[in-house]
Structure 1
Amino acid sequence: MIPRHLLLRGLAAALALGAVAPLTLAQPAKPIRLVVPFPAGGATDLFARTLSQKMGEKLGTTIVIDNKPGAGGSLGSDLVARAPADGLTLLLATTSTHSIGPALGGKLPYDTVRDFTPIAHVGNAPSIMLVPNDSPAKTVKEWIEYAKKNPNQLNYASSGNGTIVQLTAELFKAQAGLQVTHVPYKGTALAIPDLISGQVQVMFDSLPTGMPHVRDGRLRALGVTTLKRSPLAPDLPPVADTLPGFESNTWFGLYGPRDLPAEVVARVNTAANQALNDAEVRAKLTTLGIEPVNSTPQQFSKMVAADLAKWKQIIVERKIVNE
């Protein structure tokens, strides 16, 4: 007969094993699908591929990138919102999908708060304020003075209505009290030639696409849209030095479907933060113009709520529509 104390010890061990069995990501049998709601080759896709390998190592599995572009990121986001809450389908969301999209007031097939579980804020991509090389302004302060002397005579370029590029410029106009006309393009790449030639007088472009033209001497950068100097462009002063509090970032963050178990959220969050602390990952992200961010799910949720409120205020006040 087995002694009673050994039976009790065995029962306790069995109960302990049973307590952890439901944790899907303890040793996932299947690869994790990371949905990128934008096309392959773009900034979000490249970020996902940079992060996924090291993050998969931390989780003990493979992370497969699944590009599902369309409808401003809502097609891929909806796929994740409808996925089982088992930790095997995740979303790499951005400012466009979870801050600007819902703020524009269009019909989305999901609620960005109710239908997703925030996991981690993983990166920020700041923009830079670009002007033609022959612009009379050499600083942000000088450009504001220049625009105030020429109300409704200057133009700013954007990558289209309702984009982060337009909203950043409108935030700038609102805080500086400027009257500058919006000229939308189908992407900033198409706007660059007109900015170089002076047909438009300013644009807030991403660091990776804007800085090559600055280094080549075709454009002048006046400032960066972070609150403090960015390690990605340490020589550029923040626009916030002239307009206190001015900030605009394209953020990247991990979400799961609603009701994702807390244990799964904690495990994925830890893996993401560990991957972002890897020197090789950080170096690759720097080349993409992205600053790695470590966060808790609670910090991520709070940041997105504040970002949504900021852009919604600008969208309503400036009567911005996504045409």
Structure 2
Amino acid sequence: MPSLDRRSFLLAGLASAFGAGSARAAFPERPIQLFVPFAPAGGTDIAARRLGETLARQLGQSVVIDNRPGANGIVAGQAVVKAQGDGHTLLVATAASFAAAPALGQKLPYDVAHDFVPVGMLGLFPLVLNASPALPVASLAEFVAYARQRPGQLNFASAGIGGTNHLVFEMIMQAAGIRLAHVPYRGAGLAAADLMSGQVHVMIDSLAASLGNIQGGKLKALAVTTDARQPQLPDLPTLREQGVDLVYPGWASIVAPAGIAPDTLRILSSAINAAMADAELVARYRELVIEPVAWSPQETSTFMARDRAILTELVAKTGIKLTE
């Protein structure tokens, strides 16, 4: 669908969801609270704030960002799951908290599949496979060949056991038929620093965090994990283009407590999807290296469930444990 037509379609859907003035008054009745499971100023937080600003204009109510970092999203999740399912309390759900955590068997005080209702997407977060500048490879094919010739001699860094960059690299190893040792760190920044210095060989990281170092020659980017090349690095091929059959972007969605009324869900979904067509939001997302996505609640739910299934299967195959 052409972008202009799609924007018109989304805005028309939003107007239809609101209906007449009397129907619109039913929701929202007060400010909407959007819980973010991260501290302020990170990419996800900034995206949530930008989305909140756009939603506030559309819904006629302010959107208050409530940062509740801690326990891999559990702190924020607990605050939202106890709230009324009236649409006035929402949560940013991430791949780590709503897919990886249950796949890894982490004990959660709620059921991510039944205690929350997906509303729409916050966005997709492109990931990139980076190599140390000291590694004598210039492409993904060269890296795979190099690793196959040196089984057990190379390693990959991550921000910790069970994190997205750990699990995605495990997928790459399965798809490419290679095996590297895992070196978990306490955070992506520490891992990236050792990657640049040559202490470790490769790492999956967010494109947003890596872009400056890639452009500055401090990292060698071998592939993006998305289904298409990214505009920030148009000459960098995807994994699939280079023969590794894997597409896995990072992601974050918007969920509500279970029990939300269908009409309220429709209003929120239409507003989020109209925001994804807003020129200012799209421009800001591009600066943040985030891809805006306009999906229905059902599409969002299907995507999230599929990701949980993929990671659950991966954990079963690899035997990854949070305590390893």
Q: Structure 1 CA distance, aligned partners of 2:147 and 2:261?
A: 52
Where does residue 12 of structure 1 map in the other structure? Answer: none
Contact 1:23–1:264, Cα closer than 8 Å, also in 2: no
1:260 aligned partner: 260
Given that residues 232 and 291 in structure 1 are in contact (C-alpha distance below 8 angstroms), is that contact kept between their aligned partners in structure 2?
no
Contact between 2:48 and 2:122, CA under 8 Å: does it hold in 1? no
TM-score, normalised on structure 1?
0.90
Any residues of structure 2 matched to 1:55-70 within 5 Å, and which? 55-70=55-70
Alpha-carbon displacement from aligned partner over 1:212-270 (angstroms, at most 9, x marks no partner): 11111111111100122123432210011124531222111111100100111110111
User: Structure 2 vs 1, CA of residues 129 and 31 (structure 1 numbering), >3 Å: closer, same or farther?
Assistant: same
Question: Is the CA contact 1:122–1:273 (under 8 Å) kept in the aligned structure 2?
Answer: no
**1:80 counterpart SS class:** helix
AA aligned to 1:279 is: A
**Are 2:28 and 1:28 aligned?**
yes
Residue 221 of structure 1 contacts residue 236 of structure 1 at CA under 8 Å; is this kept in 2? yes
Query: Is the CA contact (8 Å cut-off) linking 1:120 and 1:300 kept in structure 2?
Result: yes
- For 2:121 and 2:245, locate their aligned partners in 1 and report how far apart those are by CA, in whole Å: 21
Alignment of 1:1-323 (within 5 A): 26-323=26-323
Decide which moves more: 33-42 or 63-72.
33-42
Paired residue type of 1:209: A
Q: Whole-Å Cα distance in 2 between the matches of residues 176 and 168 of structure 1?
A: 12
**1: CA distance, partners of 2:258 / 2:211:** 39
Whether the 8 Å contact between 1:35 and 1:92 is mirrored in structure 2 is yes
- For structure 2, the residue ranges without an aligned partner over 5 or more in a row are 1-18
Letter of the 1:81 partner, please give it: V
Q: Indicate conservation of the 8 Å contact 1:130/1:222, yes or no.
A: yes
* Post-superposition CA distance 1:166-206 (Å, at most 9, x none): 00111111111111000011111111222122221100111
Tell me: CA distance 1:259–1:68, structure 2 relative to 1, closer, same or farther (3 Å). Answer: same
Question: Structure 1 stretches of 5 or more lacking a match?
Answer: 1-18
In 2, the alpha carbon distance for the partners of 1:22 and 1:37 equals: 35
Equivalent residue of 2:309, what SS?
helix
The percentage of counterpart residues that share the same residue type is 38
**Cα shift readout 1:77-119 (whole Å, capped 9, x = no counterpart):** 1221111011110111111111111111111111111101111
> Given residue 143 of structure 2, which amino acid in structure 1 is its aligned partner?
W
**RMSD in angstroms over aligned alpha carbons?**
1.8
Deviations 1:132-157 (A, max 9, x none): 22322111111000000000000100
Using the size of structure 2 for normalisation, the TM-score is: 0.90
Structure with max Cα Rg: 1
Answer yes or no: is the 8 Å Cα contact 1:34–1:63 preserved in 2: yes
CA 167–269 in structure 1, closer or farther in 2 if over 3 Å, else same: same
Tell me the residue number matched to 2:6.
Answer: none
Q: Which amino acid aligns with 1:52?
A: G
1:263-310 alpha-carbon deviations (Å, 9 max, x no partner): 111101111111111111111111111100010111001111111111
Distance 2:260 2:233 in 1: 37
Compared CA separation, residues 201 and 96, structure 1 to 2 (3 A): same
Contact in 1 for aligned 2:27/2:264 (Cα 8 Å): no
1:24 and 1:95 mapped to 2: Cα distance?
A: 33
**Alignment partners' CA distance in 1, 2:278 and 2:20:** 29
Tell me whether 288-297 or 126-135 shows the greater mean CA deviation. 126-135
Q: Deviations over 1:3-53 (max 9, x none)?
A: xxxxxxxxxxxxxxxx99997874533210001122222222111111100
Aligned in 2, Cα 1:21/1:54: closer, same or farther, shift over 3 Å? closer
Query: What is the letter of the counterpart of residue 176 of structure 1?
Result: A
Q: Is the 1:38–1:44 Cα contact (8 Å) retained in structure 2?
A: yes
Q: Supply the distance in 1 between the matched residues of 2:22 and 2:83 (Cα, whole angstroms).
A: 18
Aligned pair count reads 305
Change (3 A) 1:233 1:262: farther
Q: Take 1:295 and 1:31, find their aligned partners in 2: how far apart are those partners? A: 24
